[in-house]
Amino acid sequence: MIKTNSRLFLFFLLLVLTGNCAFAQQKKTIVTLQAPSNTTINKHIYGHFAEHLGRCVYGGFYVGEDNERIPNTAGVRNDVVAALKELQIPNLRWPGGCFADTYHWKDGIGPKPGRPTIVNSWWGGVTEDNSFGTHDFLNMCELLETEPYLAGNVGSGEVQELADWVQYVNHAGESPMADLRRTNGREEPWKVKFWGVGNEAWGCGGNMTASYYSDVYRKYATFMSDWTNTGGLFRIASGANVDDYEWTETLMKNIKHNLVEGLALHHYANVEWNSKGPATGYSDTQYFKTMQSAWKMDELVRKHSAIMDKYDPKKRIALVVDEWGGWYEVEEGTNPGFLYQQNTMRDAMIAGLTLNVFNNHAERVRMANLAQTINVLQAVILTKDEQMILTPTYHVMEMYKVHQDAQLIPLSVESALYTFEGETLPAVHTSASVGKDGKTHISIVNIDAKQTHQVDLNLGKSYKNLSGRILKSASLNDHNTFEKPDAIKPESFKGFKQNANQLAVELPPFSVVVLTLD
């Protein structure tokens, strides 16, 4: 006689084998490419962020003109410039962040010995000597061949101060601020297009209500005039913190649409906001929770976009996710206010997943900024004296640069599941585009910490030439160090088989793959 428990076991086994059990997971991920859309994946989605925070600017980008140990151009590290040019960064946000709303730009111009010092009250309480200011940043952007994105001081500044800054950097004719710029050694204007009108107005930018900030924004935006840019300034309002949908609703309702070109959104991935967990040595549970937090970006983009669609159905106003990335506890022994953290394969997963989300929502998401570029949060570069290393996040963004200004290919995806302790997430995340050279690129991320996943791609046509690159490692916690700077780097990928119009891809656990089809 079969015992009851044995009967139940056989019953559930039969259901799983026949595919009728609700708990039976789809074994394969099926991705179908549709016809290319009319939507362009804006290159500015791949932007970066440099705040006066920790060692991002000082010791990261800038080592001083008199530094004889580290090769530099006007104080900016040559190795950093070369690395970021290889990444083809489209824009760089500066000087903050929270720092922006305590920054008075006139403190950072003129002869450096005469510049006043301030205390960086937000980040570590260190003394800021203002040796890296407007000229230094904008000239560095020219070195990097990238567009500057200036964040204006609304929290502690005045309307005239921001209006003067616009005139100082953009006015080509005779004017008080343009003349001051020439006195300080720059004849031609820099023609800065992107401007943030405050930062995190709901928090460090003034703890304002959405209604109050709407009025403040309208006042500042009104007095920001342009003289040289075709199409005018691109003014970005301080948008919502994560899922504050009421903030987005209020701004879209209250701000005249001829005064705003972009609406910001901030979201960081971590275990929990009040218990972020370590950057390395994290547990499987902490990893899964971080992936849940990262995948929330898709929901945030969809819901904020839906609100914007009510007031702006033609999608004239961009959703600008100008702060995103992983945020963990600082490395042991470092200043808590410097936000220095290592960068592992977990961060590669965050980067690949998030960029796929942005690509797939490119109709509305037209600009974003990873936080931050060097030595802070989810950095693409870490420096230590003369040494510089590239992080797994750097390598993902380098692999994904093929999507910049490419034509979005919509996808239908039936993803296998990543299951952990009874909770599930889609295991596979992907986006695709076709470039101006006619080549199709498909980026695929398997966030599953344990399982290899097969992805069946329905391509719609066959391709003669196929190649791929992969970023993978033996352990989730693996990362590049100053002793082993190339422990993780992209390599050639051959784990696919083509059969007519279909492509079967084998994705190792926690890996990122970019395929090129021609």
Q: Are 390 and 459 in a shared domain?
A: no
Output the pLDDT for position 66. 94
Q: Which residues contact 420 (CB under 8 A, 6 or more apart)?
A: 284, 285, 288, 449
- Extract the runs of DSSP E, i.e. beta strands, from 316-403: 318-326, 365-370, 381-384, 387-390
User: Measured between alpha carbons, how far apart are the two ends of the chain, in Å?
Assistant: 63
Contacts of residue 288, defined as CB under 8 A and 6 or more positions apart, other chains included, come to 418, 420, 421, 423, 425, 449
Instruction: Please report the pLDDT score of residue 229 as a whole number.
Output: 52
Specify if 97 maps to a domain: yes
Give the residue among 274, 272, 271 at the shortest CA–CA distance from 282. 271
Res. 228 pLDDT band, cuts 50 70 90: low
70 within domain boundaries: yes
Whole-angstrom distance, CA of residue 251 vs CA of residue 451: 44
What is the model's pTM? 0.93
What CA–CA distance (Å, rounded) separates 118 from 127?
Answer: 6
Nearest in space to 123 (alpha carbons), one of 392, 388, 292, 339: 339
What is the mean predicted confidence (pLDDT) over 5-21? Answer: 40
Active site residues: 200, 323
What is the sign of the dihedral through the CA atoms of 327, 49, 97 and 248? Answer: negative
C-beta contacts of 115-120 below 8 A and 24+ residues apart: 120/52, 120/53
Identify the residue with better confidence: 13 or 259: 259
Angle (deg, nearest 10), helices 245-254 and 284-311: 20
Torsions phi, psi for 130 (to 5 deg): 60, 25
- Tell me the CATH number at 279: 3.20.20.80
Spatial distance between the Cα atoms of 284 and 277, rounded to a whole number of angstroms: 12
27 pLDDT band, cuts 50/70/90, is confident
Give residue 487's domain range: 24-37+410-517
Helices (H), ranges, 459-500 = none
Looking at the structure, tell me whether residues 274 and 180 fall in a common domain: yes
Q: How do residues 429-462 score in pLDDT, each as one tens digit?
A: 999 999 999 999 999 999 999 999 999 999 999 9
Say what the pLDDT of residue 157 is: 96
Range 209-226 burial, b when 16+ CB lie within 10 A, else e:
ebeebbebbbebbeebeb
Q: Point out the domain boundary residue: 363, 380, 404.
A: 404
Give the Å distances, CA to CA, from 257 to 222, 230, 232, 353, 398. 12, 19, 14, 31, 35
> What three-state secondary structure class fits 273?
coil
Q: 476 with 377, same domain?
A: no
Reported confidence tier of residue 339, pLDDT bands at 50, 70, 90: very high
Q: What share of the chain is helix, strand, coil (3-state, %, to 5)?
A: 30, 25, 45
Q: How far apart are CA 105 and CA 164, in angstroms?
A: 10
Q: Verify that 75 and 196 share a domain, yes or no.
A: yes
Rounded Cα gap, residues 67 and 203, in angstroms = 38
Nearest 10 degrees: Cα torsion 473, 477, 483, 486:
30
Q: What is the mean pLDDT of the chain?
A: 94
Contact of 238 with 280, CB cutoff 8 Å: no
Residue 15 lies in a domain: no
Measured distance CA(284)–CA(471) in Å, rounded: 20
Instruction: Note whether 374 and 418 are same-domain residues.
Output: no
At 49, list the tokens.
């962020």
What number is the average pLDDT over the span 247-256?
97
Mean pLDDT of 189-214: 97
One domain for residues 223 and 160: yes
Query: Same domain for 279 and 209?
Result: yes
The size of the chain, in residues, is 518
What tokens were used for 278? Answer: 């370590």
Domain with residue 457: its CATH number is 2.60.40.1180
Domain for residue 439, yes or no?
Answer: yes
How much is the average pLDDT of 250-270?
Answer: 97
Considering its fold, how many domains does the chain have in total? 2
Residue 246 has pLDDT above 90, yes or no: yes
Predicted pLDDT at 243: 98
369 & 500 share domain:
no
pLDDT in tens, 293-329: 999 999 999 999 999 999 999 999 999 999 999 999 9
Helix (H, G, I), strand (E, B) or coil at 430: strand
What backbone torsions phi and psi does residue 308 show, to the nearest 5 degrees? -65, -35
> Do 146 and 178 belong together in one domain?
yes
Query: Do 51 and 179 share a domain, yes or no?
Result: yes
In a domain, 216, yes or no: yes
pLDDT at 232 (0 to 100): 87
Q: Do residue 309 and residue 434 come from a single domain?
A: no
Are the beta carbons of 346 and 295 closer than 8 angstroms? no
Please state, for a pLDDT cut of 70, what percent of the chain lies above it.
94
Q: Is residue 254 part of a domain?
A: yes
Q: Is residue 187 part of a domain?
A: yes
User: Six-digit token pair at 443?
Assistant: 């980026």
| Claim to verify: residue 490 and residue 396 sit in the same structural domain | no
Amino acid at residue number 134: T
Residue 1 belongs to some domain of the structure: no
**Is pLDDT above 60 for 23?**
no
Mean pLDDT in residue range 184-189: 97
Domain end marker among 367, 388, 404: 404
Last residue of a domain, one of 351, 385, 404: 404
Percent of the chain with pLDDT over 90: 92
Neighbours of 15 (CB within 10 A): 14
Do residues 501 and 459 lie in contact, with contact meaning Cβ atoms separated by under 8 Å?
A: yes
